[in-house]
Amino acid sequence: MKLIINNKIFTDNTNELEKDSIFVLSKNNEKFKDIAINGGFEIIESKNLKNYLDMSSIKIVGITGTNGKTTTATTIYKILLNLGYKVALQGTRGFFINENQVEDYSLTTPVQIGNFVNIQKAIENSCQFFVMEVSSHAISQNRVEGLNFALKIHTNITRDHLDYHKTIEEYIDVKNSFLSDESTKLVNIDDEVLKYNSKNAFTYSLKNRANFQVINKTIENIMSVEFINEDKKYSFNTKMMGIFNIYNLMASIAAVFITTKRALDDICKAVENFQSVSGRMEIVSQKPFIIVDFAHTPDGMDEVLKSFPNKDIICVFGAGGNRDSAKRPLMGKVAKKYSKHIVVTSDNPRFEDPKKIIEDILAGIDDKSNVIVEENRAEALKKAISLVDDKSVVLVLGKGDEATQIVGDKKFEFSDKTEILKILNKIKTKN
């Protein structure tokens, strides 16, 4: 990848080196260092790109956490836009500048030089804020080195990415390292495993005393939330559902307040103008009631499923191939705990046999009398929808707004939302 600053070419790819180029060295391309040395090229460490790109005009907000990164990042982005700021958003759903999608789905956090390329684009478009998701992989691989964060946010830590981090302890340590410095930070103090440097720390909570503390909440057709900051009460309503979304919205409100110092009443009004995040507790249909969500961990599923205590849940899900296989039976167990019907299917099997993944999930379900196994995801959605009645909610979990199904090293076009709408349209046409 290339970055051009004041006519100087910076690249992290030795194949792109040309006369007077500068090779950007990182943890990921260290093995190619000798090629740059032998070619006589200047070499700098990726973290030192900050010495070449003037980022003084833009505030960088970074969000990490197992669950809630995308919703929190997107909500912050949308609130800031609503308040009249120019904003860029980088994350799982792609790269956006001032309402326009510039790049499609990508890594949650790009390689180091990729971050600087996108920040440069944001600056060129007069953005005052750069909101970014920060994955555990990015922290571990030093992909956010050299970025001066105006605010770091930590949403929560639960089991995920153990195919990469190997142990939950290692994963927790990596996540917590993001908050170990003295930069301004915002922390969910209800998560007991979060550790952070208390200097310049702000907190939010639904259970404990905090800078932004929820004191009342009602969840019906809409959620109403009341919170206090500096002993003053504020409130907002939202169509977004689930306790976990109250956490996401509180993080977003607090983040905008900390970085802009705008009146909290104005920020709460902006929240009420925001509907939802694509593929995150997204209502695809009201009748029948069908929701699509990205939940792909036992804890993430638990948070979604327990949000509907008065509904008969029809849960459709699978598990990704070549990822943490130990979480699969746990996902099955969670689905069983809350669901009237379970449809186990395929979800990005990659190089694994989908049947084996499904077997792993089923190992966590003792009584399988209410379980349907359907490897074909489109057929699984049909079967789930055929079970609905007035008391039901169909929760389609795992893929969110992903537009593809990954089989082997190939990506096939597949969207849960598109497929659901096709099925409903066929039913409507028949009737």
117: CATH: 3.40.1190.10
Domain stop point among 239, 272, 305: 272
**Is residue 242 scored above 80 in pLDDT?**
yes
Whether residue 158 is annotated as binding a ligand: the answer is no
What pTM was estimated for this model as a whole?
Answer: 0.85
Whether residue 141 is annotated as binding a ligand: the answer is yes
Are 307 and 408 in the same domain? Answer: yes
144 is a domain residue: yes
CATH of residue 335 = 3.90.190.20
Whether residue 64 is annotated as binding a ligand: the answer is no
| Residue 165 pLDDT level (bands cut at 50, 70, 90) | very low
Are 298 and 421 in the same domain? Answer: yes
Are 190 and 287 in the same domain? Answer: no
Whether residue 429 is annotated as binding a ligand: the answer is no
Closest CA to 129 of 252, 2, 282: 252
Are 305 and 215 in the same domain? Answer: no
277 is a domain residue: no
Are 253 and 351 in the same domain? Answer: no
Domain stop point among 249, 272, 295: 272
Residue 13 domain boundaries: 2-50
Are 189 and 330 in the same domain? Answer: no
Whether residue 62 is annotated as binding a ligand: the answer is no
Question: How do residues 73-131 score in pLDDT, each as one tens digit?
Answer: 999 999 999 999 999 999 989 999 999 999 986 666 688 899 999 999 999 999 999 99
Whether residue 350 is annotated as binding a ligand: the answer is yes
Whether residue 8 is annotated as binding a ligand: the answer is no
362 is a domain residue: yes
For the chain, how many structural domains are there in total?
3
Are 74 and 114 in the same domain? Answer: yes
Are 136 and 258 in the same domain? Answer: yes
Whether residue 383 is annotated as binding a ligand: the answer is no
404 secondary structure, DSSP code: E
194/155 Cα distance (integer angstroms): 9
Whether residue 69 is annotated as binding a ligand: the answer is yes
Provide the pLDDT for residue 136: 85
Whether residue 431 is annotated as binding a ligand: the answer is no
Are 143 and 259 in the same domain? Answer: yes
**Is residue 163 scored above 90 in pLDDT?**
no
Whether residue 91 is annotated as binding a ligand: the answer is no
Whether residue 67 is annotated as binding a ligand: the answer is yes
For β-strands 410-413 and 404-407, DSSP reports them as antiparallel
Whether residue 143 is annotated as binding a ligand: the answer is yes
Whether residue 329 is annotated as binding a ligand: the answer is no
Residue with the bigger pLDDT between 236 and 299: it is 236
Are 115 and 225 in the same domain? Answer: yes
Whether residue 14 is annotated as binding a ligand: the answer is yes
42/36 Cα distance (integer angstroms): 8
Whether residue 245 is annotated as binding a ligand: the answer is no
Closest CA to 277 of 416, 70, 105, 123: 70
